[in-house]
C-alpha cells in the first residue's frame, strides 16, 4: 500500500460533493499564496478523498488532466463562477485544475525580483505538486486558457513541451505588442520601448520554434469579431512557417464568456481525440 503525504507547505480544503478541492500553496516565488481549484470527475473522486494523504493499492492509472487558466482581471474561481466546471469534469473525465493567475500576473516572471515570478512558481511549485498529488502523466496532461490565460498556456507549453500532450489558446494575447504596456504589462515588463526586448521575448509568436520537431499540437481558437483575432491568425501563420503542428478554429464571437464557454468544450473535444488517438485529419 502506497501513501502520499501532501507537503507541509500545502493546505488542502475539501469542498462540496467530495469531488472538488481547494489547494492553497504558500509560494516564495509569488510572495503570496496561490489558490488552486481542482475539479475531480466523480468517477475518480474516491481516489482523492483523503484530506491530507491518499492511500491506494499501487499507483492508479493516470487520469486525463487540464490546466485551465483565467484571463486578465480574473482569479482562480473565474471559470467556476461562469460555468459548472464540475459538470464538465464529470462529463469529460478530465481533472480540471484552475490556478490563480491573479489580477494581472500575465503568467510571467516580473522584471522586479520582488514582484511575482509566476513562471518560476509554475515550474518549481505548482506543476510538480499537482502532478505528484493527483498521479498525473505528462502524456495525459493538457493546458489551455482565455485571453491572458491563452498567452500563459501557450508559453508554459513552449517552455517545456515534454510537460504536456498538447496546448490551447482561446482568444489569446499571443503577441504582446497588441497590448503594449497596457493592462499591467508595463508594471511587469517595463515600458514598451524599442530597447526593451522583454515584450518580444515573452510573446508566444516569437517562441513557436521551441515546439519544432516535438510533433505536439497547439490548438488556437478565436471569434471572428474578437479584438485579438489578428493575434491568433498571425500566431498560426508563424506555426505554419516553422512547421509546427497546429489547428485553428474561428467562428462568430467576441471577447466574451459566451465564447469561452463554447471554446472550453471545443478544446476538450480536441484534447480527448488526441488522447484517444482518434482521427484529426492528418
Span 82-93, average pLDDT: 96
**CATH homologous superfamily of 2-276:** Alpha/Beta hydrolase fold, catalytic domain (3.40.50.1820)
Per-residue pLDDT tens digits for 36-54: 999 999 988 877 765 434 4
**Beta pairing partners, 20:** 39
- Give the separation between CA 275 and CA 82, rounded to whole angstroms: 27
CA distances from 84 to 34, 55, 117, 210 (A): 22, 29, 30, 35
Going by pLDDT thresholds of 50, 70 and 90, the confidence category of residue 14 is very low
Give DSSP secondary structure letters for 231-274.
HHHHHHHHHHHHT--EEEEEES--SSHHHHHHHHHHHHHHHHHH
Given this model, what pLDDT does residue 138 score?
98
Given this model, what pLDDT does residue 71 score?
98
Span 250-279, average pLDDT: 97
Cell, residue 135: 498521479
Is the distance from CB of 112 to CB of 105 less than 8 angstroms?
no
Going by pLDDT thresholds of 50, 70 and 90, the confidence category of residue 16 is very low
Helix (H) or strand (E) holding 275: helix 257-276
CA distances from 56 to 43, 48, 50, 130, 163 (A): 15, 9, 11, 17, 25
Given this model, what pLDDT does residue 53 score?
43
The torsion region of residue 42 among left (phi > 0), alpha (psi -120 to 50) and beta comes to alpha
Is the model's pLDDT at 56 over the cut of 70?
no
Given this model, what pLDDT does residue 207 score?
98
Give DSSP secondary structure letters for 146-185.
BTHHHHHHHHHHHH-GGG-SEEEEES---SGGGTTTTTTH
Rounded (10°) angle between helices 85-92 and 257-276: 20
Span 13-27, average pLDDT: 74
Closest C-alpha among 65, 146, 162 to residue 107 = 146
Helix (H, G, I), strand (E, B) or coil at 28: coil
Given this model, what pLDDT does residue 7 score?
40
Average per-residue pLDDT in the chain?
91
Per-residue pLDDT tens digits for 92-108: 999 999 999 999 999 99
Going by pLDDT thresholds of 50, 70 and 90, the confidence category of residue 57 is very low
Per-residue pLDDT tens digits for 176-216: 999 999 999 999 999 999 999 999 999 999 999 999 999 99
What percentage of the chain has pLDDT greater than the value 90?
Answer: 86
What percentage of the chain has pLDDT greater than the value 70?
Answer: 89
Is the model's pLDDT at 251 over the cut of 80?
yes
Per-residue pLDDT tens digits for 215-248: 999 999 999 999 999 999 999 999 999 999 999 9
- Give the separation between CA 172 and CA 149, rounded to whole angstroms: 7
Span 57-84, average pLDDT: 90
Per-residue pLDDT tens digits for 113-134: 999 999 999 999 999 999 999 9
Residue written as grid cell 518580444: 200
Contacts of 201 (CB under 8 A, 6+ apart): none
Amino acid at each position: 500500500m502506497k501513501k502520499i503525504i501532501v507537503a507541509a507547505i500545502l493546505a488542502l480544503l475539501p469542498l462540496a460533493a467530495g469531488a472538488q478541492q481547494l489547494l492553497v500553496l504558500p509560494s516564495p516565488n509569488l510572495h503570496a499564496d496561490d489558490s488552486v481549484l481542482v475539479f475531480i470527475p466523480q468517477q475518480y473522486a474516491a481516489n482523492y478523498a483523503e484530506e491530507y494523504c491518499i492511500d491506494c493499492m499501487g499507483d492508479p492509472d493516470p487520469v486525463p488532466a487540464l490546466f485551465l487558466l483565467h484571463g486578465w482581471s480574473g482569479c482562480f474561481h473565474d471559470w467556476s463562477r461562469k460555468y459548472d466546471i464540475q459538470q464538465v469534469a464529470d462529463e469529460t473525465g478530465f481533472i480540471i485544475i484552475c490556478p490563480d493567475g491573479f489580477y494581472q500576473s500575465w503568467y510571467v516572471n516580473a522584471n522586479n525580483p520582488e514582484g511575482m515570478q509566476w513562471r518560476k512558481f509554475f515550474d518549481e511549485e505548482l506543476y510538480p505538486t499537482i502532478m505528484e498529488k493527483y498521479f498525473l502523466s505528462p502524456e495525459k496532461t493538457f493546458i489551455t486558457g482565455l485571453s491572458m490565460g491563452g498567452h500563459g498556456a501557450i508559453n508554459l507549453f513552449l517552455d517545456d513541451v515534454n510537460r504536456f500532450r498538447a496546448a490551447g489558446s482561446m482568444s489569446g494575447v499571443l503577441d504582446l505588442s497588441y497590448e503594449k504596456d497596457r493592462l499591467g504589462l508595463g508594471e511587469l515588463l517595463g515600458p514598451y520601448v524599442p530597447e526593451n526586448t522583454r515584450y518580444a521575448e515573452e510573446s508566444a509568436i516569437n517562441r513557436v520554434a521551441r515546439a519544432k520537431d516535438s510533433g505536439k499540437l497547439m490548438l488556437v481558437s478565436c471569434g471572428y469579431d474578437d479584438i485579438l483575432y489578428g493575434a491568433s491568425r498571425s500566431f498560426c501563420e508563424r506555426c505554419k512557417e516553422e512547421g509546427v503542428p497546429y489547428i485553428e478554429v474561428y467562428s462568430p464571437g467576441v471577447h466574451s464568456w459566451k465564447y469561452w464557454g463554447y471554446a472550453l468544450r471545443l478544446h476538450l473535444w480536441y484534447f480527448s481525440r488526441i488522447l484517444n488517438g482518434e482521427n484529426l485529419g492528418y
